[in-house]
């Protein structure tokens, strides 16, 4: 690989370049400060690779998302979430024997320590479920001392399986707690996703049969959200993990970051926006607001740092919304109609075309989750449930990288230079 030559002031530096298997080349600037006495400046990491990874790749121009090389639309159609978990964690699609071993390892860790139920009761009933999920995930570290030594690969594996297995129970219990219904324990005879729906929607008073159509749609939503390169929450998990923090604390940090409306909170914000628009005739008013620089309003569920073409997950999600709502006999759902018309109008508007703003994964997901019976406060917790495996895969990759060190960015300091303290009577 050739070097990049950097000239500034009286200096001329040769910086090594590195090539990926796919995507842009990178300039290795690790020695830039030592050799050149300067930092680079990239506060939003728009042009900065924070790590080397072989898990997920996004081609923002082609609208392509690959998990270990496999395109997301094929996985959403042909695979299922636990198989995708195996792929993200271990790098290859499992053989039937490997899958037969993996699934029960997850299934047998779905229960929470009974003491956890009391932890939930410390929250107000009207606490946002994201607050509960974030707190409970962090609290897991107080229950599993036997799997917090991150230097032990076996303990890393146990902690990983435990979090993938328990996050549906944690999330379902946060929902049950918020609606004042009793916690429902996992049932091992159900598959991963059906178990989640069962824990959310069954009540002790009557038999509940999981609708296979909803379970398939939910499973597809989990797959679509499982991982996404070095997004904000994954970068948070990596940075937390780089200090040697225990895995439960790192994933709790990821949950906290995902909560923001610019990130995982956008699915709830998008549905609330579609409901606020209410009818197709009010769409132009909101399109105008989204284009008005003096108005902080943005079309939630639109735009993306990487995708400058359609988000392939949004395409699959839109097809799934049509299928699920059609099968539920609510294809004329007014919110879905507003979403489709908003997408059509926005994508023909020069502003959105010029800024390459397309619907992202959050634009249609809320419509499906709402149709399934989830309140919008559960949309981001469900995103966190699905993304847990991605966070774990990225965390494991970082921890097992012998060259990794604690993340410690520098800064462009623009504050006061040295000055002596002034006594209060002299100020």
- Residues that bind ligand SDX in the complex, under the rule CB under 6 A: 44, 228, 231-232, 262-264, 266, 290, 298-305, 355, 357, 360-362
Which is closer to ligand SDX, CB of 8 or CB of 45?
45
Which is closer to ligand SDX, CB of 116 or CB of 167?
167
- Pair of tokens at residue 285: 């008013």
Which is closer to ligand SDX, CB of 133 or CB of 357?
357
Which is closer to ligand SDX, CB of 109 or CB of 298?
298
For the CB of residue 305, give the shortest distance to ligand SDX in the complex, in Å.
3
- Using CB positions, name the residue nearest to ligand SDX: 303
Question: Which residues are CB-neighbours of 214 under 8 A, at least 6 positions away?
Answer: 197, 324, 372
- Pair of tokens at residue 1: 């690989």
For the CB of residue 37, give the shortest distance to ligand SDX in the complex, in Å.
30
| 231 close to 361: Cβ distance less than 8 angstroms | no
Q: 250 vs 80, 141, 246, CA distance in Å?
A: 26, 10, 6
Q: How far apart are the first and last CA of the chain?
A: 59
Which is closer to ligand SDX, CB of 112 or CB of 256?
256
Question: Which residues are CB-neighbours of 139 under 8 A, at least 6 positions away?
Answer: 116, 119, 248
Decide: residue 306, CB within 10 A, 0-12 exposed, 13-18 middle, 19+ buried. middle
The residue among 284, 292, 399 whose CA lies nearest residue 341 is: 284
For the CB of residue 209, give the shortest distance to ligand SDX in the complex, in Å.
32
| 391 close to 234: Cβ distance less than 8 angstroms | yes
Which residues does the annotation mark as catalytic?
304, 362
Place of tokens 């303290």: 421
For the CB of residue 33, give the shortest distance to ligand SDX in the complex, in Å.
26
- Pair of tokens at residue 65: 């998302």
- Pair of tokens at residue 408: 């410690």
For the CB of residue 88, give the shortest distance to ligand SDX in the complex, in Å.
13
User: What's the alpha-carbon Rg for the chain, to the nearest Å?
Assistant: 23
For the CB of residue 77, give the shortest distance to ligand SDX in the complex, in Å.
19
Place of tokens 């929250």: 123
């Amino acid at each position: 690989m050739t070097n990049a030559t950097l000239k500034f002031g009286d200096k001329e530096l040769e910086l090594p370049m590195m090539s990926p298997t796919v995507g842009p080349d990178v300039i290795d600037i690790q020695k830039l400060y030592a050799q050149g006495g300067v930092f680079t400046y990239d506060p939003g990491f728009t042009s900065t690779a924070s790590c080397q990874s072989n898990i997920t790749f996004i081609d923002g121009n082609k609208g392509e998302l690959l998990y270990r090389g496999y395109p997301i639309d094929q996985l959403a159609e042909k695979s299922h979430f636990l198989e995708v978990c195996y792929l993200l964690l271990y790098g290859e699609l499992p053989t039937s024997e490997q899958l037969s071993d993996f699934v029960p390892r997850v299934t047998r860790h779905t229960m929470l320590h009974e003491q956890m139920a009391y932890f939930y009761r410390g929250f107000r009933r009207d606490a946002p479920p994201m607050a509960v999920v974030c707190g409970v995930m962090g609290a897991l570290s107080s229950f599993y001392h036997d799997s917090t030594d991150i230097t032990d690969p076996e303990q890393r594996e146990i902690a990983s399986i435990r979090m993938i297995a328990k996050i549906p129970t944690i999330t379902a219990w946060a929902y049950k707690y918020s609606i004042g219904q009793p916690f429902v324990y996992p049932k091992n005879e159900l598959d991963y996703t059906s178990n989640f729906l069962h824990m959310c929607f069954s009540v002790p008073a009557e038999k509940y049969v999981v609708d296979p159509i909803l379970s398939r749609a939910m499973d597809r939503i989990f797959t679509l959200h499982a991982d996404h390169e070095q997004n904000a929450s994954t970068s948070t998990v990596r940075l937390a993990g780089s200090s040697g923090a225990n895995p439960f604390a790192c994933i709790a940090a990821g949950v906290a970051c995902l909560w923001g409306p610019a990130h995982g909170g956008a699915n709830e914000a998008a549905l609330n926006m579609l409901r606020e628009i209410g009818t197709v005739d009010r769409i132009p008013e909101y399109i105008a607001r989204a284009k008005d620089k003096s108005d902080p309003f943005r079309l939630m569920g639109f735009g993306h740092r990487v995708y400058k073409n359609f988000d392939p997950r949004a395409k699959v999600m839109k097809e799934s919304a049509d299928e699920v709502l059609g099968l539920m006999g609510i294809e004329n759902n007014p919110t879905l109609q507003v979403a489709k018309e908003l997408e059509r109008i926005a994508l023909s508007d020069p502003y959105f075309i010029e800024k390459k703003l397309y619907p992202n994964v959050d634009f249609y997901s809320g419509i499906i989750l709402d149709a399934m019976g989830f309140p919008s406060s559960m949309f981001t917790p469900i995103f966190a449930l699905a993304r847990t495996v991605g966070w774990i895969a990225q965390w494991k990759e970082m921890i097992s990288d012998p060259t990794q060190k604690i993340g410690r960015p520098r800064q462009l300091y623009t504050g006061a230079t040295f000055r002596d303290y002034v006594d209060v009577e002299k100020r």
